[in-house]
Amino acid sequence: LRGTGVSKRTVTAVAGVAGLLALTGCGINIGSASTSGLGSDTSKATIVVTPSEIDGHASVDSPITVVAQNGHLTDITVTGPKGATINGALNADGTAWTSAIHALAFGATYKIAAHALDLEGKLAEVSSELSTVTPDKTFSGQLVNFSSGDKVGVGMPVRIEFNRPIKDRTSVERHLQVRASKPVVGAWRWDSDRTAVTFRPQTYWPGNTSIKVAARLRGADAGSGAYGSKDLLFKFSTGVARVYTVDAGSDEMVVRQADKKGKMKVVHTAPITSGKSGFETRSGTLVMMAKEGTVVMDAATGGTPVGSSNYYKLTVSDSIRITPSGEYLHAAPWSVGAQGRANVSHGCVGMSTGNAEWMWDNSSVGDVVVIKNSGRKQDLDNGITDWNIPWVKWLKGSKLGAQEVGPAAPDTIPAPPVADPGTPAGPAPMSSKHPYSGATG
């Protein structure tokens, strides 16, 4: 920070200060002086401005703060690019001012002028500038698997994918904030290649819960000269808690759903058939990825050649995808005779048309699907498989660990400005261009 000075004019204290605001960052003492006229004594008040410059440049991922130590602020003027006035607010006792903007502009200069009085009425003044960093490169993130505003099942995790690997994961994770209308303990976990981070609760989300996520990436330092280019703000909600359990040993599907008191109760059972020998359905805890409805299932998309005894091409109704590789829950009227008795499919979970219609009418993307006793383990890279990772192991992939994300959770990042821009929605999770490899049938 550059420049300090002594004011020769009379200063009047500012009235009508705003409520207490949190202060962030670290700073340096950039000036103290006296105009009290009491000999050569200087003011005991000092004024500290943040962010401070490091190697000649300040970070942009926090607001500007002006703090009076051993005194109170009397007036503050902050201007930004093109001389625009930067608004802010004082705390209740006039000792700290925080800008309304939570992220500064890249490659910009901000000018700060402030006065403070100590307890003896002696005046301190600061007049300074700070120049912000110009990034060598930027990064951005996007929400996947669902879109902002969606209502999903209680098994849906929050996944953000980045357009470049994140070197400083701790720095970026500090800018990720989750809020839920009901108390939840959860944690972020990074993919091994550092290009994605996923948040999930320790157990499933509570039913009928509103969740907001603020990924305040604008200005976040990812290391190696990369800074976040824009924020990612979104919200979603969960519906009623619902779990589908498919037992490949007994060839039965049991559906449990929370009642009004939150107790899980059986609401439906159905005979099913799952993958036969050599095509076993993967066991594990999955999440309904997409309700695709009527789907043409062609075994060739999964590598089975035309002419093989295992080749098929069928039009299938009430299809709900659970893996990118092509496992579905769907209607299979051709195998009703085997349902409840034998596994004859190529990996999908088949049921009668009536049971499939019930499932379609009583399911949501994000509902939990537990498959057991198939003899084949779940591939963790095939679908939304986060619930197969034990909580202790999940935490090892987090930089900040478990956190309470209920409505009373403490802030981990600066609050947004009053006039925050709109909330960008994430991309629709299922499109005609998704990289799925078809259906297993």
Report the alpha-carbon distance of residue 400 to residue 388 in Å, rounded: 21
Cα separation, 90 vs 15, whole angstroms: 10
DSSP state of 259: -
Q: Both tokens of residue 336?
A: 């009703």
Alpha-carbon gap, residue 281 to 414, rounded angstroms: 46
Q: Which residues pair with 151 in a beta bridge?
A: 237
Annotation marks residue 330 as catalytic: yes
8 Å CB contact between 407 and 171: no
- Residue of 72, 102, 115, 330 with catalytic role: 330
3-class SS of residue 133: coil
- The residues, ordered by sequence, that sit 6+ positions from 397 with a Cβ below 8 Å of its Cβ are 189, 190
Helix spans in 268-418 (H): 353-361, 391-396
Catalytic residue among 72, 102, 175, 348: 348
Rg (CA), the chain: 29
- Cβ neighbors of 159 (< 8 A, separation 6 or more) are 143, 144, 145, 196, 197, 198, 199
For the purposes of burial, counting CB atoms within 10 Å of the CB of 210, is it exposed (0-12), middle (13-18) or buried (19 or more)?
Answer: middle
| 135 neighbors 120 (Cβ within 8 angstroms) | no
The H or E element containing residue 144 is: strand 141-144
- Contacting residues for 310 by C-beta, under 8 A, at least 6 apart: 279, 299, 304, 346
| Residues 73 and 66 sit within 8 Å (Cβ to Cβ) | yes
Residue whose C-alpha is closest to residue 414's, from 19, 23, 18, 17:
23
Residue 348 annotated among the catalytic residues of the structure: yes
Query: Is 89 in contact with 76 (CB distance < 8 Å)?
Result: no
Catalytic residues: 330, 348
